[in-house]
Amino acid sequence: MALRSNEEEQYVATIATFVDREVRPVARDLEHSNTFPADLIERMKALGVFALVVPERYGGAPVSASCFALVAAELARGWMSLAGAMGPHSVVCSLLATFGTEEQKRRWLPRLATGEIRGAMALTEPGGGSDLQAMTTVAKRQPDGAYVVTGAKTWITNARRAGVIALLCKTDPSAEPAHRGVSLLLVEPGDGLTVSRDLSKLGYKGVETCELSFDGYVAPAEALLGDVEGQGFAQMMRGLELGRIQVAARAVGVAQAALDDAVCYAQQRESFGQQIWKHQAVGHLLATMATKTEAARQLVLHAAGRYDLGERCDLEAGMAKLFASETCLEVTTDAMRVHGGYGYSPEYDVERYYRDAPLMVLGEGTNEIQKNVIAKQLIARATKGGASR
């Protein structure tokens, strides 16, 4: 799927230059010290990264989903955590642009576009994992229309620094089926909302991942996304199509970084009198890594192209996320093998890629969930008599 314009190509190239000149030289130290990349986030704001899915009339600089995915891949190539800072924020912007009331769009989108405030998504619960319909967070409507929220969420990226959080909760716990009682609230930091702790992680350092607790938190009536209760599950499923494309793009970026480093090292390192890539075992490893990384990129662009057409793409996004994340896991492991013992050292970036890769297998719905989504959509499309592509 080609980019829409030369301007989009130039924009992706600008992000790639930013990554090479400003991100890669500092990423290792920032990651090892688990330091929030404040300066890099400011540069991302200046480059318009947080405005890519916001309509122009609200101050955004919208691009195609293909361009959006390639930008995410470039950021992840430099440091996956930067793409993580962009991802949930962009899904919140997309939810607002697609489902928000005019008042909600005017209130939130201009500030989200500049990065003045950033968005976060609160879906996962401590006891629920990927089973979103089993959530126990409840928003009880009061006579004045406001909602009193009680519950907990976990693994929430950007939560400590977010200005608005898209909270998935039950506004009608007795609804059947359960998803008809689920709504999205746009909540702000305030009394009754506590960021209880930052979670320690294997990788994905620098950006915060937190637990949230809601205890008598009061959200006004106008916090309900779209102004109609019971639409939250469908709204979030559409948002997750973009989210899964973005996570798949992150996986492509990390895989590309690992491949690039492995190719470079294989030319520098010699054994038995020749560069190690000339040994068939290493050369074939590089060939397989490159082929799978490119295949993953094309799956991501295919899903992004369908998203741009406004068509349902949970099948394509699920396939892209499944294949790209598993490829990233494999390629980062193989890059470590190419580096030998040095790949296990924190003096090389390969060990960081190896630690970051598992997140994409688990995040935005585990790969086991992706397989369920893919299978369900394959059957649904076959039943309708349509092709699966």
Catalytic residues: 364
Residue (of 216, 157, 156) closest to 190 by Cα position: 216
CA distances (Å), 287 to each of 167, 282, 293, 349, 376, in order?
A: 44, 9, 10, 21, 34
Helix (H) or strand (E) segment spanning residue 33: none
Structure tokens at 4: 């829409």
**CA gap 180, 243 in Å, rounded:** 22
**Tokens in use for 303?**
């899903």
3-state secondary structure of 138: strand
Which residues are within 8 A (CB) of 286 and not within 5 positions of it... i.e. 6 or more apart?
Answer: 259, 262, 263, 266, 277, 338
Preceding peptide of 177 cis, ω within 30°: yes
Cα–Cα distance for residue pair 370/357, rounded to 1 Å: 17
**Cβ atoms 322, 303 nearer than 8 A:** no
